Every structure is written in structure tokens, then in C-alpha cells.
Amino acid sequence: MIETKPLSVLTISLGCPKNRVDTERLLGALGTGVRPVDEVAGADLVLINTCGFIEPAVEESVSTILGTVQDMEDMTGKRPVLAVAGCLVSRYGSDLMSEMPEVDLWLSTDELERWPGMVEKALGRTADESLPRSLSTGPGYAYLKISEGCSHDCKFCTIPSIRGAHRSWTVDYLAEEAARLVSGGVPELIVVGQDSTHYGSDLGLKNGLQQLLEALLPLPGLEWLRLMYLYPAGLTESLLSFLRDAGKPFLPYFDIPLQHAHPEVLSSMGRPFAHNPDKVVERVRKYFPEAALRTTFIVGYPGETDEHFQQLMDFVERTRFHHLGVFPYWPEDGTPAAAMDNQVPDEVKIERRDALMELQSSISEEIMAGYVGEKLPVLVEEPSPEWPGLFTGRTWFQAPEVDGITYVSAEPGVELVPGTIVEAEIEQAQTYDLVGLV
């Protein structure tokens, strides 16, 4: 029987959307009596879901834990249970446990299915893993995590050692979860996985992602379906043809983590696709001339020369991505790249990151300016604190948390409701954001 006594929970979820889904599933399993709070004082449970992917994420996670421990030491009254979960635990668990005895419960990613039971035991409560997720994304969207782990062998990446090999949830399980989310009023589903195009390969499915989408696209009430983490090798002619013919609610937004543009760097990275990113871009735009492309790049990878970097700059200039993220390379313990010769100095990495982002900002500014005067669908998300009547939202080529936003306001007498999609005329463009009127 589910415990009905209210449970006050302070949740801090760091890192990627996949972490957020893990947090939401755990909170859902704790029952309908969960009440979110913003401070450790008054919380029964403090849950910190950490990221341990790269050094800055590790530092942020450790700092968050230590800060929370300090807040708990300063408080009066009953001390909450402190649970630390996620990738940092999987990567540095034994060291953390000896260095942070204040933490009551450590939750590793290799025991995700056991998290509810472990928290239940620490709290003296009963969890029910069959209960739906407790969404933390507001009324507009929800993430649908379709797989766990990764089986690629990229030389810089810690994910396989942290999260394990690629494992897919079944089509039936995901379709049921998606239907529950959409029937609950969520208009946009965002599909995430370490490599979404690899979905179902471990289940023996041929064209697994296509099979999953065939189950998701017809869901009543689903207005937008966005795909993230699409590896280049998986964007086949067959998949692109299927997506083109599928039409709405699929959005022609392609998040493709290319990581670099020079074949020598890509080969050294061990990236699992042909070493010519132009071909991937051409293939996508063959089927979707209007596509919005997002990608991420690593600069300063071991052995990256000025020539390599210039080719990356040239590629970005001619490709004209809607959105682009750039990360300086971090030599992570245990990865082959960390032991390579020709490590690039940190100051060079930063210079290259800044130069690439400066180029991208000018490209983005031009792209955004091209939408002025057009009418675009905008998913309204929440009121803006800047002034009454102004809301933040996103149009079809803006994913939450990683891309720009669209500010919308309405004519007198028109009410904007979070979680609904409206048509807005774009009146102003900024470097990454838009401003529209309904």
C-alpha cells in the first residue's frame, strides 16, 4: 500500500535530460504525496542527481553536494535524508563514500531499477514503480528516454564506462509511457537517448527507431515530436524518407552530435560514422530543405592543428547551423584520449571555442533575422518576470534548455495559456531569441 503521508522533497537534477527522466521516474514511484520544496529546511528527502561526464560537470556536482551538506549542518530541526544519485556516483562511488560520510544514500546508474526501493528503505516508506513519472518540465513538454548506455567506442567519452552498454526499452513500454504523458496534456515529446538512431539494435529490431516512431506519431493529442541525439551514421536514406512521409507531428529539427569536421580528428576520436560530415548535412537537406540543424563540437582535441580547426570553422560557415554548442576538450581519466600525445594547451582550446562561438553567433543572428515578419507556431511555456503579459515559449526549431527562446505577448483580450501552441507574428530578432505578437 502506498504511503499517503506527504513527503517534502528538494530535488536537484544536474546534467542532461536523461538524468532528469531518471529523477522524474524515482519521484513518481514515491507516490502522489510528494511535495516539492526549495530549501533543505522542511525537506524529508534531498535528492541530488549528479553528472560526471566531464571535469566541469564533476566539479559542479561535488560543489552542489558539499553546499547542500553545509546547508543541512546549519539548519535546526529534523535533518532530511540526503540521497546522491547518478553518473558521479557510478564513476567515483567508492571515493565519494569515504570522503562524504554525511550522505545517507548513494544511488548508482547501474542499479536504476532499484532506486525507488532503496529510497523507500531509507525513508521508511513504500514506493510503487508502476506509478507514472512526476514531471518537472512544466506543462509544455516531456522527455521520453528510449535507451540507456552506449556501445560506441569514442576515445574521449566516459559514458560507456559510467552507464554501460546500449540498452533499449521496448516499443510497448515506451508507447505506453508516451500515451500517458500526452493524455495528461503534454503537447511535445522529446525523444532522447545516448544515440537515438541506435534504438532497438539490442532488441533485434530492424529499423528500430522507425518502429518506435510508428507507435508514437499517431498518439492523439501529440502536437510536436522532436528527436535528439541522432548519430550521423543512423540518419540513413530509409529513415529520412520515412520521416519526410510521416509529416506532423514530427518536427524537421535534427540534433546531430558531429563533434568535428576534419577526417583526421574524427578518426582519432573513434567516431562511429563516415568521416565527411558534409555528406550527412546534404542527406538531411535532400529530404528536409527547411531543416533546422543543431550540433556540438569539441575543440582542442589531442593533435588538433590550426589547419584542422580552420576546416571546422569553414564547415560551420558554409553549413549554417541554427544552433551549435562548443566544448573545449577535457582529458578524462580512463579514456584513451587522455593518454594521447600532442595535448593542446588550455589557452588554445579556449581561444578556439571563443572563435567558433563568435562565428556561430553571427550566423544565428542572420538566421533569426530572417524570421522577422513571419508567422510561427509558438509553444507557450511560462510568464516572463520582465513585464506583465509577456510569456516565454519556443517555436519548432528551439529545443528546451539548449536553444534560444521566443518571447510572446498578446493583443488585449487574448489570453496566453502555458502548454498551448499559438501562432505568433515575429516582430523582433535577437542573436538567439525571437519576439512575437499573438
User: Do 392 and 276 fall within a single domain?
Assistant: no
Task: Give the largest CA-CA distance in the chain.
Answer: 65
Rg of the chain, C-alpha, whole Å: 22
User: Three-class SS of residue 297?
Assistant: strand
254 bridge partner residues: 227, 293
Q: What is the pLDDT of residue 344?
A: 97
| Number of neighbouring beta carbons within 10 Å of residue 183 | 12
User: Do 63 and 196 fall within a single domain?
Assistant: no
d(CA 146, CA 8): 29
Query: Is residue 2 included in any domain, yes or no?
Result: no
Q: What is the pLDDT of residue 74?
A: 85
User: Do 292 and 152 fall within a single domain?
Assistant: yes
User: Three-class SS of residue 192?
Assistant: strand
From first to last of its 438 residues, the chain has per-residue pLDDT tens of 444 568 899 999 998 899 999 999 998 888 877 888 988 988 999 999 999 888 889 999 999 999 999 999 888 888 999 999 999 999 888 888 888 999 999 999 988 888 989 998 998 877 776 778 889 888 899 999 999 999 988 999 988 888 889 999 999 999 999 999 999 999 999 999 999 999 999 999 999 999 999 999 999 999 999 999 999 989 999 999 999 999 999 999 999 999 999 999 999 999 877 578 999 999 999 999 999 999 999 999 999 999 999 999 999 999 999 999 999 999 998 899 999 999 999 999 999 999 999 999 999 999 999 999 999 999 999 998 888 889 999 999 999 999 999 999 988 878 899 999 999 999 999 999 999 999
User: Do 280 and 174 fall within a single domain?
Assistant: yes
In terms of residue numbers, what domain contains 391?
Answer: 375-437
d(CA 128, CA 409): 42
d(CA 353, CA 358): 9
Closest among 374, 411, 259 to 324, alpha carbons compared: 259
Output the nine-digit C-alpha cell for 207.
529499423
Query: Is residue 131 included in any domain, yes or no?
Result: no
User: Do 314 and 387 fall within a single domain?
Assistant: no
- DSSP strand pairing (391-395 vs 375-383): antiparallel
d(CA 3, CA 28): 13
DSSP-assigned letters across all residues of 11-44: EEE-SSHHHHHHHHHHHHHT-TTEEE-SSSTT-S
User: Do 105 and 53 fall within a single domain?
Assistant: yes
CATH number at residue 99: 3.40.50.12160
Domain-ending residue, one of 335, 369, 403: 369
Domain-ending residue, one of 341, 369, 397: 369
Residue 285, class by beta-carbon neighbours within 10 Å (0-12 exposed, 13-18 middle, 19+ buried)? Answer: middle
DSSP state of 436: E
Q: Please enumerate in sequence order all residues whose Cβ is within 8 A of that of 82, keeping only pairs 6 or more positions apart, or say none.
A: 46, 48, 68, 69, 72, 102, 103, 104, 105
Query: Is residue 170 included in any domain, yes or no?
Result: yes
User: Do 40 and 182 fall within a single domain?
Assistant: no
Q: What is the pLDDT of residue 426?
A: 98
Residues 253, 290 contacting (CB under 8 angstroms): no
User: Do 199 and 108 fall within a single domain?
Assistant: no
Output the nine-digit C-alpha cell for 304.
588538433
Q: What is the pLDDT of residue 251?
A: 98
User: Three-class SS of residue 82?
Assistant: strand
User: Do 360 and 381 fall within a single domain?
Assistant: no
